[in-house]
Structure 1
Amino acid sequence: MARLPADPEAFIRANTALETPAMVPEFRLWLASEYVPIWQATEAWMEEQNIDPPYWAFCWPGGQAIARYLLDHPEEVRGRRVIDFAAGSGVSSMAAVRAGAASVLANDIDRLSLIAARLNAAANGLAFEVSDEDWLAGPEAEPEADIVIAGDVCYERDMSARALAWLRGHAGAGRLVLLGDPGRNYFSAQGLEERARYQIPTSLQLENRGMRETVVWRVLPYPHGTVRIP
C-alpha cells in the first residue's frame, strides 16, 4: 500500500489552491493550477516511498460531468444511498451530498486522494464517508447502495474492462449506475444509455485539447438479466 506524506493535509494545501471547476462553479476544490509542479512534488516519493501519482489534484471531466448531472437532477439521488467508485477529488460525491443523498461513500485505493476529497468536502461545508477498499476484488468489499457513480475509469485496458464489468454487475442487481466519460481510449458505449452530454473546458497539459465532450451514461445490465459482479 502506498505511503502518505508525513502531513498529508499540509502537503495538499502546499501544492494546490482552492479553485472552481468549470462545470461545477457551486464548489471550490483544492486543485493544482499547473500540471508539472504537483507531479514533480511527488516524483521522489513515488520512487522512494511508493507514493501514488496525484490524480486527485485535478478535477477530471468525467467526474465533473457526473457532478453537474446530479446537481441538475437531484431527484436521481435524493434520499438514496450512493457509492462513488474511484472518487478522485470527490467532486461527484460532493454533488451527491448537495443533491440530498441519504448517504455517500467515496471510494479510492489512493488514501491521499481520500484525504483530498474530505478536504474538498470540508471547504464546501459538506461531508461524506470514505473507503480505500479495492471494490473490484469482490462483492464482500462493497457496502450496500442504491446508486453507483463513477467518472474517468477507462484509462487502461485492464482497468476499463474490470470496471465496466463491475458496474454492469451492479446494474444487473437493480441499482442505478452512472458513468462519466470523455471518450477515453478504452471506453466503449456498448450497453450504455446516454443521459447527458457536456462540453467541458480542460487543461492542454492534461488533455492535449482545450475542450472535451463528456457524456454521462447509464450502465445497463448484462443481456438476458445476467447478474455478475467480478
Structure 2
Amino acid sequence: MSTSADFVRANTRLAPVPFLPELVLHQADEPIELWERTEEGGAEQPPPFWAFAWAGGQALARHVLDEPELVAGRHVLDLATGSGLVAVAAARAGARPVTANDIDPFSLAAAEANAAANRVRLELLEADLLADGYDDAAVVLAGDVFYSREMAGRVLPFLRRAAGRGALVLVGDPGRAYLPVDGMVRRATYDVPVIEALESVPVRRTSVWQVQTGR
C-alpha cells in the first residue's frame, strides 16, 4: 500500500478535525484541486472521499467519543470508512477490534495513516461488503453513505440486515437527498463545521440515526 500511502501524504496535511479537536486527520488543503486531479485520473483513481472530514462522519465520531459505552469492548465495523475518522474514534472510545472497510485502496491507506497519527489500531478490509455481507460486527457505523440513489439502494438493505441480526447500527448524515429515515430513530443532532467549497455552507446540521429494524 506504499504508493497509495505516499499519494495520501503528498496531498494532505495532518491537522485537528474541527468538531473533534482531540483527533488529527490527514486533510486536503485544496479540496477542489485534489478532486479535479483525481477525476483526471479516471477509473484508476476514484474521488478522494478519504481527504476530508465529512459532516456525517464528524457527527458519528463525536457521538461515539461522547458515549463510549456504545462501542467499548465490541467489534465495530466502519462501513465505507473514507478517511477512517469514524473507525479511529471508535478505537479511541475502546472498541476492539475495529474493522475499517472500503473499496478504495487510497481510503484504506488514509485510514491506516490516520490510525497511526492517533495511536490506535485498525483492521483494514478492502471489499464490497454490500455484495459480500459481513456478520462479524456487533456495531456497524456508517457516515455519509446516502450521497447517491445507487449507493442508498445498496447500503440500506445491508444496514437493515445488520440491525435485524441484533447489531447496533448507527448512521451519521447531514440530510443528504437519499437518506431514508423510515425504520430509523434520531439519537443526536449537531452543528458540524464543514468545508464550504464542498458543502456550499460553513456548517451542516447533522444527525446520528439508529437503524432499528431489519425490514
Contact 2:39 2:46 in 1 (8 A): no
> Is residue 181 of structure 1 aligned with residue 173 of structure 2?
yes
1:43 and 1:134 map into 2 onto residues whose CA distance is 21
Say which structure is richer in strand.
2
Normalised to the residue count of structure 1, the TM-score between the two structures is 0.89
Runs of 4+ in 1 over 4 A off after TM superposition: none
Q: TM-score scaled by structure 2? A: 0.95
Deviation at 1:187, TM superposition (A): 0.9
Look up the SS of the partner of 1:197 in the other structure: strand
Equivalent in 50, 72, 82 of residue 44 of structure 2: 50
* Pairing partner for 1:217 from 196, 209, 212: 209
Match of 2:143 in 1: 151
Alignment-derived partner of residue 67 in structure 1? 61
Larger Rg: 1
Unpaired runs of 5+ residues, structure 1, are: none
Structure 2: state its 5+ residue gaps.
Answer: none
Given the alignment of the two structures, is residue 24 of structure 1 paired with residue 16 of structure 2, yes or no? no
2:154 is matched with 162
- Within 2, Cα distance between the matches of 1:97 and 1:201? 23
CA drift of 1:42 comes to: 2.2
The answer to whether structure 1 residue 199 and structure 2 residue 191 are counterparts is: yes
Q: Give the CA deviation at 1:43.
A: 3.4
- State the number of aligned residues: 215
Give me the identity figure in percent: 47
Q: CA deviation at 1:69?
A: 0.5
Q: Matches of 2:130 and 2:176 in 1, distance apart?
A: 20
Q: Within 2, Cα distance between the matches of 1:215 and 1:36?
A: 26
Q: Deviations over 1:166-218 (max 9, x none)?
A: 10110010110000000001112111111111000111211111110000000
From 73, 79, 87, the equivalent of 1:85 is 79
Q: Compare 88-97 and 188-197 and name the one that shifted more.
A: 188-197
Partner of 2:95: 101
2:15/2:27 contact within 8 Å kept:
yes
**How much has 1:143 moved relative to structure 2?**
5.0
